[in-house]
C-alpha cells in the first residue's frame, strides 16, 4: 500500500521535496524504491535516513503509517551493502542487523518491506515470530541471514536452541518500543541486548514517550539524535473525533447503525477484550455485516487470513484488540470505531492513528457509556482536547438487546480467559486501570480454544500473505469446530 502523494506537500511544491537520490543510496536500493512507486521520502525518512547513514543512534517519535520502516531499513540496507555477498556459506551471512517488533503482524510487515527494499541486493532477510512452526525459521537462520526481524520471545527461543548467534550484530532496531514495554517484554529485551556486541548502532522508535520509554532509551542509546515527525502523543490532526453517548447494552446496535448510516466499508472496531472482539464479530455477522475478529487467541494463519480478507474487501469490519491491531499496515482507512474506550489513554492515540494516515482524512468514532467517564477523562488529558459525548442520531427506538444479569460466575470465568497471556501478545489492563466490564455468558466462549487451522509449518514468505485462503466461517467461530 502506498502513501498518497500529498504526504509531505502539494504537487506544486513537489520540486522542492527531498529525493531519495539525495541521500547517496546505491542503485539497487533506488531501483527497489522505484519498483515500489515511492517518489519522495516521507518526513521521517528525510530526517532519519541521513542520520542513520552517519552511524548515529536514533530515538524516533513516529507511528506506523509515517513510513518509518523505510526510514530505518533503507539506511540499514545501504550500510550492510559493504558486506553483501553471494557465497553459499552461512558463515558469510551472519546477522548484522536485528529488528525487534512487539507483534507478529508487525514483524511480518517489516520483513516484507525489508525484503522488497533489498530485493536487488544479495543481502538476506528473514523473520521469526511465535505461533508458527520453528523448523522453517531454524532452516533460514542456519543458512545465514544479514537482516533478522523478530519478536522477542521467539528470538530467545532460537537463541536457546543455539541456532542463532547475535555477536556480529552491528545495528539494533527496537520498533514500537512503547508497545514492547506495555506487553511486558522488558526482561526479554534486556536479555537480548546482553547478547549483542557493546559496539553497535541503536535505533529506537516509539509512537508515544512515557517516562519508562525515556528511561529505556537512556539505558541503551548513546547520544541519540531525536527525530520527531509529529508532536508526541498528538492525535492526527486530520482525524475527526466523535464520541457517541450510548447505553452499554446498545453498543452493538450502535455499531451496526453507524456502519449503515455512514455507509462505512472498511473499518477496524476496537474491543478491549478478546472475548468481546469475538462476540461482536459474531453478532455483526448475524446482523448481516461482513465482519471478522483478530486477536491473540487466533492462530497466526487465522489472523493473516482475516487481515488479507479485510484488505481485499472480503470483509468490511475487522474487530480487533489493541495488540492485534498494532502495526497493521492498512493505509487510508477511512474510519475506526472504539466499541470500548481503551483502558490506557495511549491506546486511543494508537487506535485513531489507524485512520487519517498518509495525509488522508479519517473519522474516529467512539462509543461512550456512563461507566467510561474516567477513561474519557484520561484520554482528554493525554490529547489535551475536550471530547464531549453527543447523542447518536437515529439510534433511539432501535431494538436494544435484552438487558439483565446472567450467569455471574461464568461471566467472570470468561473474562479471566480473556486476560493477558504475554506469549500471545495480549496483556491485561494495568492494575491501576478500572476493571474490564463484565461479559455476558455465551457458552461458545467458555469452550477451550481450538485452532481451526492446524499449526502447520510456515510456508515460504511469499506464500504467507495473499495465498492463505481466508477461512471466514472458521474465523468467526462458525466452522465445524467453532
Ligand atoms: P510504515 O509507517 O513504515 O508502516 O509505512 C506505511 C506505508 O507507507 C507502507 O505501506 C509503505 O509501503 C508506504 N511508504 C513508505 N515510504 C513511502 C514513500 N516514501 N512513498 C510512498 N509510500 C511510502
Q: What is the spatial distance between Cα 250 and Cα 410, in angstroms, rounded to a whole number?
A: 22
Binned at pLDDT 50, 70 and 90, residue 350 comes out as confident
Res 414 pLDDT > 60: no
Choose which residue among 42, 43, 45, 465 to substitute to test ligand 1 binding: the one with the highest number of ligand atoms within 8 A of its C-beta: 42
Which residues lie closer than 8 Å to 426 by C-beta, 6 or more apart? 274, 295, 296, 297, 321, 323, 324, 419, 420
Indicate the fold that domain 239-405+412-417 takes in CATH.
Rossmann fold (3.40.50)
CA angle 68, 199, 124 (to 5 degrees): 50
Q: Residue 382: what pLDDT?
A: 85
In the three-class reduction of DSSP (H, G, I as helix; E, B as strand; rest coil), residue 393 is classed as coil
What is the distance in A from the centroid of ligand 1 to the CA of 82? 25
In this structure, the residues whose C-beta lies within 6 A of any atom of ligand 1 are 1-3, 38, 41-42, 45, 64-70, 329, 331
287-308: average pLDDT: 83
Highest mean pLDDT, choosing among 64-73, 163-172, 313-322, 383-392:
163-172
184: enclosing H helix or E strand: none
Binned at pLDDT 50, 70 and 90, residue 361 comes out as low
Q: What is the spatial distance between Cα 415 and Cα 418, in angstroms, rounded to a whole number?
A: 5
CATH for 11-228? 3.40.50.300
Highest mean pLDDT, choosing among 14-23, 86-95, 282-291, 451-460:
86-95
What is the distance in A from the centroid of ligand 1 to the CA of 172? 21
Instruction: Give the residue, 430 or 51, on which the prediction is more confident.
Output: 51
Q: What is the spatial distance between Cα 442 and Cα 70, in angstroms, rounded to a whole number?
A: 44
pTM beyond 0.75: no
Res 154 pLDDT > 80: yes
Residues of the chain with CATH 3.40.50.300: 11-228, 239-405+412-417
287-293: average pLDDT: 92
Instruction: Give the residue, 50 or 4, on which the prediction is more confident.
Output: 50
| Residue 171, beta-bridge partner list | 97, 201
Q: Which residue has the cell 520483513?
A: 111
Res 19 pLDDT > 50: yes
What is the distance in A from the centroid of ligand 1 to the CA of 328? 12
pLDDT tens-digit readout, 46-59: 999 999 999 999 99
Binned at pLDDT 50, 70 and 90, residue 61 comes out as confident
- Could you tell me the strand order of the sheet in which 58-61 lies? 125-128, 147-150, 97-100, 171-174, 201-206, 58-61, 225-228
Q: Which DSSP category does 333 fall into?
A: B
Q: Residue 262: what pLDDT?
A: 86
- Looking from the CA of residue 113, the nearest atom of ligand 1 is 12
What is the share, in percent, of the chain residues with pLDDT greater than 90? 53
Q: What is the mean pLDDT of the chain?
A: 78
Which residues lie closer than 8 Å to 286 by C-beta, 6 or more apart? none
Choose which residue among 2, 43, 206 to substitute to test ligand 1 binding: the one with the highest number of ligand atoms within 8 A of its C-beta: 2
Q: Which residue has the cell 521521517?
A: 44
366-388: average pLDDT: 92
Amino acid at each position: 500500500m502506498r502513501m498518497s502523494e500529498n504526504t509531505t506537500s502539494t504537487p506544486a511544491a513537489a520540486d522542492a521535496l527531498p529525493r531519495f537520490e539525495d541521500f547517496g543510496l546505491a542503485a539497487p536500493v533506488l531501483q527497489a524504491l522505484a519498483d515500489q512507486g515511492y517518489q519522495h521520502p516521507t518526513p521521517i525518512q528525510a530526517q532519519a535516513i541521513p542520520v542513520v547513514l552517519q552511524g548515529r543512534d536514533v530515538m524516533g517519535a513516529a507511528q506506523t503509517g509515517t513510513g518509518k520502516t523505510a526510514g530505518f531499513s533503507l539506511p540499514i540496507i545501504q550500510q550492510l551493502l559493504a558486506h553483501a555477498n553471494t557465497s553459499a556459506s552461512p558463515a558469510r551471512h551472519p546477522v548484522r542487523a536485528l529488528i525487534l517488533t512487539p507483534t507478529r503482524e508487525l514483524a511480518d510487515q517489516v520483513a516484507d518491506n525489508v525484503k522488497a527494499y533489498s530485493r536487488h541486493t544479495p543481502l538476506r532477510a528473514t523473520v521469526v515470530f511465535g505461533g508458527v512452526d520453528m523448523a522453517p525459521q531454524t532452516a533460514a537462520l542456519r543458512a545465514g541471514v544479514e537482516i533478522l526481524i523478530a519478536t522477542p520471545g521467539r528470538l530467545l527461543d532460537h537463541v536457546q536452541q543455539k541456532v542463532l548467534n547475535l555477536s556480529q550484530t552491528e545495528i539494533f532496531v527496537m520498533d514500537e518500543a512503547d508497545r514492547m514495554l506495555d506487553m511486558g517484554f522488558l526482561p526479554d529485551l534486556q536479555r537480548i541486548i546482553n547478547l549483542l556486541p557493546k559496539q553497535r548502532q541503536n535505533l529506537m522508535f516509539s509512537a508515544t514517550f512515557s517516562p519508562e520509554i525515556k528511561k529505556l532509551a537512556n539505558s541503551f542509546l548513546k547520544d541519540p539524535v531525536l527525530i520527531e515527525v509529529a508532536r508526541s502523543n498528538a492525535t492526527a490532526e486530520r482525524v475527526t473525533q466523535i464520541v457517541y453517548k450510548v447505553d452499554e447494552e446498545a453498543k452493538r446496535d450502535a455499531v451496526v447503525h453507524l456502519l449503515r448510516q455512514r455507509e462505512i466499508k472498511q473499518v477496524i472496531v476496537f474491543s478491549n477484550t478478546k472475548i468481546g472482539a469475538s462476540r461482536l464479530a459474531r453478532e455483526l455477522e448475524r446482523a448481516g455485516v461482513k465482519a471478522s475478529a483478530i486477536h491473540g487467541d487466533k492462530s497466526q494463519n487465522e489472523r493473516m487470513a482475516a487481515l488479507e480478507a479485510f484488505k481485499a474487501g472480503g470483509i468490511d469490519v475487522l474487530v480487533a484488540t489493541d495488540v492485534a491491531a498494532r502495526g497493521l499496515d492498512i493505509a487510508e482507512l477511512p474510519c475506526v470505531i472504539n466499541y470500548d474506550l481503551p483502558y490506557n489513554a495511549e491506546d486511543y492515540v494508537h487506535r485513531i492513528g489507524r485512520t487519517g494516515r498518509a495525509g488522508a482524512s479519517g473519522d474516529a468514532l467512539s462509543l461512550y457509556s456512563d461507566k467510561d467517564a474516567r477513561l474519557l477523562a484520561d484520554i482528554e488529558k493525554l490529547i489535551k482536547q475536550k471530547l464531549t459525548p453527543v447523542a447518536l442520531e437515529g439510534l433511539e427506538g432501535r431494538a436494544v438487546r435484552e438487558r439483565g444479569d446472567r450467569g455471574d460466575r461464568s461471566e467472570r470465568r470468561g473474562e479471566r480467559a480473556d486476560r493477558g497471556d504475554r506469549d500471545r501478545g495480549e496483556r491485561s489492563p494495568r492494575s491501576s486501570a478500572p476493571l474490564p466490564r463484565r461479559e455476558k455468558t455465551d457458552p461458545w466462549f467458555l469452550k477451550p480454544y481450538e485452532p481451526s487451522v492446524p499449526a502447520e509449518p510456515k510456508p515460504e514468505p511469499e506464500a504467507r500473505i495473499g495465498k492463505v485462503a481466508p477461512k471466514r466461517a472458521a474465523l468467526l467461530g462458525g466452522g465445524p469446530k467453532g
